[in-house]
Amino acid sequence: MHGKLIACDKSFHSIRMIKYTSRYALIVGTNLGSGYVVRRRSTASVSTVTDLFVATGQRNEKNNTKRRADTEVLMNEIHDREAGSDAHVMAFARMNYIHSRYRKACKILNEDMLHTLGSAVVDLFRSIEKYEWRQLTDVEKCAVGVFYRSMGEAMEIPFNLVPSGKAGFTDGIHFAQELCDFTVEYEKTAVKPTQSTFLISRRLMDLETANYPSILKPVVERIIATRLDEHIRVSMG
């Protein structure tokens, strides 16, 4: 796995800059820290995912904030470190190690891994369109596609669930398009309200509103809800 990562060329690094410029523009621009709930929509709306979080107790009231901090630290390492650097490789190795026993036991499904990866791309494209009032340029779309394809490969997520997964993708735009199509289609069957989606959504929402005074929390929650698609909002209760 290390070999694969080191093989990623330095364009991976410049691609990250494009992606992050867009994401921070979005978060700062909306002046609302709702990024976490929106980014973790797969964590909160797909019952095969939420069932596991409930079963492992990884999102209980006591460890909720620590889990968020751990996840953010690791994701920052993955996004911000230079491709192939020790810190970058170590972050992937740790994340893969954490998932490996669940994946081996089929408690984490490949389709949920792909959907989680795809959710990030769908949210990025939609957010730029909605809150920056513009479409991404083809170069940006391609950069996002190459970035997430490299990430998926480093996480050993099979791409055989998208049409060109076997034959190969012509470029980043092609990959991003097929990944987005898969993600949207998958949600039609996988996203549904259950006890576990409600519970995990509640935990994520608590994290998001933790720094607001109680009187403002319901308002902030409603604002966050407006940033979610209808079916995701329903499954999150």
Which residues of the shown chain bind ligand HEM in the complex (CB under 6 A)?
49, 52-53, 56, 58, 67, 70-71, 74-75, 95, 98-99, 102, 108, 112-113, 116-117
Smallest gap from Cβ 72 to ligand HEM, in A, equals 8
Residues in the chain: 237
Beta-bridge partner residues of 191: 46
Would you say 127 or 220 has its CB closer to ligand HEM?
A: 127
Cα(237)–Cα(234) distance, integer angstroms: 5
CB 154 to ligand HEM: min, Å = 10
Beta carbons of 146 and 12 less than 8 angstroms apart: yes
Q: How far is the CB of 78 from ligand HEM (least distance, A)?
A: 7
CB atoms within 10 A of CB 62: 8
User: Could you tell me the smallest distance in angstroms from the CB atom of residue 107 to ligand HEM?
Assistant: 7
| Residues whose CB is less than 8 angstroms from the CB of residue 5 and which lie 6 or more positions away in sequence, other chains included | 83, 84, 88, 89, 92, 154
What's the closest the beta carbon of residue 215 comes to ligand HEM, in angstroms? 32
Query: Cα separation of 228 and 118, whole Å?
Result: 15
Residue 159 phi/psi, 5-degree rounding, is -100, 10
